[in-house]
């Protein structure tokens, strides 16, 4: 990953491949953003005019390259759009900074060192720029010819930016340093979640995912318990087993327990971890299964969030549950019509084996409930219906508590993860009535994302606050990269979960 430093160096003498500056949309013309004063002076105050001549407007996502002014050690100035110029005395929006830093870092793939002279009003800006750089520079090249894990042939054919200096941030400032440390831990773990999502399903299966979790647990002082198929059968986890039974790679339930001696609150995060979703006997048609390695994105997000919480030493207990299985058709696979005996004691008639996520989650949610945490949040690439409803960049939030749903929504927006509240209308429950079992795993087609949410709700212990994030849209980016989001696995929901853990820790300290 890109090495980040806070630097007070002056731009002209900096030895770097490029200096990144911000440009905002002014009333009529683009304006150079604070932080780049020294650069602008070296152009005799004409940088905004030069950029305008080159067609720059300051729009978000825009990138303009200019030869550096005479006397500069760095050869190139890269101007990135920050969107509307903020009102007088107001700071630039942190998400605009994160995106701009991400665009620049991605474009500078192949470079050794870049200096970022973006507006640093406070520690929140340091954090946003650092995250933008670390997340934007991400590449997944392990499977490319000569790929050496160091980005030899990354997405753009170049190694990720090796080094970034954040100018204007203060290396001695406690808050700035803390912001950098936090951004590094969160971004590294988020990038690891992306790696897991991008790893092909012949290499990432429930067993190998569990082994990775065990290794990370050892490294970061997290207790890790793994239930394999034998233990799952003994424990009565009929949902996880029913989904995994068709695959040669058996299912696992992984429990990651991070605890802090001073913790007053306990959060449980539950992730859908279908390492490949073929649909099972209700097989998906070609055109719908090529990206289904991403169906473990929820488990990857939960894993990353628990490790990040541990690395940050948050004063809160966080338990992560990874419900891992591969959904395959075979002679041993669950059939449409089969009835599963779930861990909660309920029975489920499987009408469609492609509605498998809710089955593995049901067991994990019930297991999480047994510890009576203060809240449970599950994360899942659960339904195509949610993608139809909210598109490919926004996840849906459902909950059994309006205030908690609102809290998650606020935190998600704060960290730059687009999300939107969705309802759980009671009337949709009867569509899942089964003549044979307590409930069927499918209901009305209309509102399919909400139906899935209502199914999960049946497996939450009494009185426990719960929210469900359906990340089927934003988990995997099938389009081109944008902002700090690469093609492929995005790591969505990691930052919302970490923020929730932080807020829960802070709130408990009062």
What's the min distance (Å) between Cβ of 382 and Mn ion? 9
> Burial of 6 by CB count in 10 Å (0-12 exposed, 13-18 middle, 19+ buried)?
buried
Per annotation, catalytic residue among 99, 113, 311, 358:
358
> Residue 195 interacts with ligand BES (CB under 6 A)?
no
Q: Residue 54 CB: number of other CB atoms within 10 A?
A: 12
For 392, phi then psi, to 5°, come to -95, 5
> Residue 354 interacts with Mn ion (CB under 5 A)?
yes
> Residue 295 interacts with Zn ion (CB under 5 A)?
yes
What's the min distance (Å) between Cβ of 295 and Mn ion? 7
> Residue 189 interacts with Mn ion (CB under 5 A)?
no
What's the min distance (Å) between Cβ of 348 and Mn ion? 15
**Which 91-130 residues touch Mn ion, going by CB under 5 A?**
none
Asked if residue 253 lies in contact with residue 237, where contact means CB atoms within 8 angstroms, the answer is yes
> Burial of 15 by CB count in 10 Å (0-12 exposed, 13-18 middle, 19+ buried)?
exposed
Q: Cα(503)–Cα(510) distance, rounded to whole angstroms?
A: 11
Task: Decide whether 189 or 356 has the Cβ nearer to Mn ion.
Answer: 356
3-state class (DSSP) for residue 276: strand
Query: Which residue in the shown chain puts its C-beta closest to ligand BES?
Result: 384
For 273, phi then psi, to 5°, come to -125, 60
What's the min distance (Å) between Cβ of 380 and ligand BES? 8
What's the min distance (Å) between Cβ of 292 and Mn ion? 8
**Which 365-384 residues touch ligand BES, going by CB under 6 A?**
381-384
> Residue 102 interacts with ligand BES (CB under 6 A)?
no
Active site residue 429: no
Task: Decide whether 81 or 449 has the Cβ nearer to ligand BES.
Answer: 449
> Residue 357 interacts with Zn ion (CB under 5 A)?
yes
> Residue 277 interacts with ligand BES (CB under 6 A)?
yes
> Residue 387 interacts with ligand BES (CB under 6 A)?
yes
Q: Residue 374 CB: number of other CB atoms within 10 A?
A: 15
Active site residue 98: no
3-state class (DSSP) for residue 23: strand
Query: Tokens representing 375?
Result: 């809240």
Q: Reduced to 3 DSSP states, what percent helix, strand and coil does the chain have, rounded to the nearest 5?
A: 35, 20, 40
Asked if residue 501 lies in contact with residue 182, where contact means CB atoms within 8 angstroms, the answer is no
In which residue are the tokens 């966080």 written?
A: 318
Q: Residue 426 CB: number of other CB atoms within 10 A?
A: 9
385 binds, among ligand BES, Zn ion, Mn ion, none (CB under 5 to 8 A by kind): ligand BES
- Closest by Cα among 232, 349, 352 to 280: 352
What's the min distance (Å) between Cβ of 227 and Zn ion? 20
Per annotation, catalytic residue among 158, 284, 393, 487:
284
Which residues lie near ligand BES (CB under 6 A)? 277, 295, 352, 354-357, 381-385, 387, 442, 448, 472
Which residues lie near Zn ion (CB under 5 A)? 274, 277, 295, 357
Active-site residue numbers? 284, 358
Which residues lie near Mn ion (CB under 5 A)? 277, 354, 356
């Amino acid at each position: 990953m890109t090495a980040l430093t806070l630097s007070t160096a002056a731009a002209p003498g900096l030895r770097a491949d490029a200096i990144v500056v911000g440009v905002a949309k002014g009333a009529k013309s683009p304006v150079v953003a604070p932080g780049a004063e020294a650069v602008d002076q070296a152009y005799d105050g004409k940088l905004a005019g030069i950029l305008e001549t080159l067609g720059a407007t300051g729009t978000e996502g825009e990138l303009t390259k200019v030869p550096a002014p005479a006397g500069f050690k760095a050869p190139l100035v890269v101007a990135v759009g920050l969107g509307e110029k903020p009102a007088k005395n107001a700071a630039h929006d942190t998400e605009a900074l994160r995106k701009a830093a991400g665009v620049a870092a991605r474009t500078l793939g192949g470079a050794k060192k870049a200096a970022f002279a973006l507006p640093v009003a406070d520690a929140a800006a340091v954090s946003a720029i650092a995250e933008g750089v670390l997340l934007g520079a991400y590449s997944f090249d392990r499977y490319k010819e000569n790929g050496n894990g160091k980005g030899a042939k990354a997405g753009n054919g170049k190694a990720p930016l090796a080094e970034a200096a954040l100018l204007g941030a203060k290396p001695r400032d406690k808050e700035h340093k803390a912001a950098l440390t936090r951004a590094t831990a969160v971004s590294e773990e988020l990038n690891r979640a992306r790696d897991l999502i991008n790893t092909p399903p012949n290499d990432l299966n429930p067993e190998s995912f569990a082994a990775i979790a065990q290794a990370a647990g050892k490294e970061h002082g997290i207790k890790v318990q793994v239930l394999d198929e034998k233990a799952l059968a003994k424990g009565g986890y009929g949902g996880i087993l029913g989904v995994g039974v068709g695959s040669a790679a058996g299912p696992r339930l992984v429990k990651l327990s991070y605890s802090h001696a001073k913790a007053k609150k306990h959060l449980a995060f539950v992730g859908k971890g279908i390492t490949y979703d073929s649909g099972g006997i209700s097989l998906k048609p070609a055109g719908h299964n090529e990206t289904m390695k991403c169906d473990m994105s929820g488990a990857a997000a939960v894993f990353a969030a628990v490790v990040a919480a541990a690395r940050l030493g948050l004063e809160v207990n966080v338990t992560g549950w990874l419900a891992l299985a591969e959904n395959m058709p075979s002679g041993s696979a669950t059939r449409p019509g089969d009835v599963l005996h779930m861990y909660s004691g309920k029975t489920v008639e499987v009408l469609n084996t492609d509605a498998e996520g809710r089955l593995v989650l049901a067991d994990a949610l019930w297991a999480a409930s047994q510890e009576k945490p203060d809240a449970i949040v599950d994360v899942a690439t659960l339904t195509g219906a949610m993608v139809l409803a909210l598109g490919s960049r926004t996840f849906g939030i459902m909950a059994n508590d309006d205030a908690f749903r609102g809290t998650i929504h606020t935190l998600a927006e704060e960290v730059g993860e687009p999300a939107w509240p969705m309802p759980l209308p009671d009337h949709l429950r009867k569509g899942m009535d089964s003549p044979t079992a307590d409930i069927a795993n499918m209901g009305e087609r209309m509102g399919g994302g909400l139906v899935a949410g209502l199914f999960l709700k049946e497996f939450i212990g009494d009185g426990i606050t719960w929210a469900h994030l359906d990340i089927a849209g934003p988990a995997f980016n099938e389009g081109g990269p944008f902002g700090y989001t690469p093609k492929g696995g995005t790591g969505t929901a990691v930052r919302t979960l970490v923020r929730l853990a932080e807020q829960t820790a802070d709130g408990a300290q009062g």
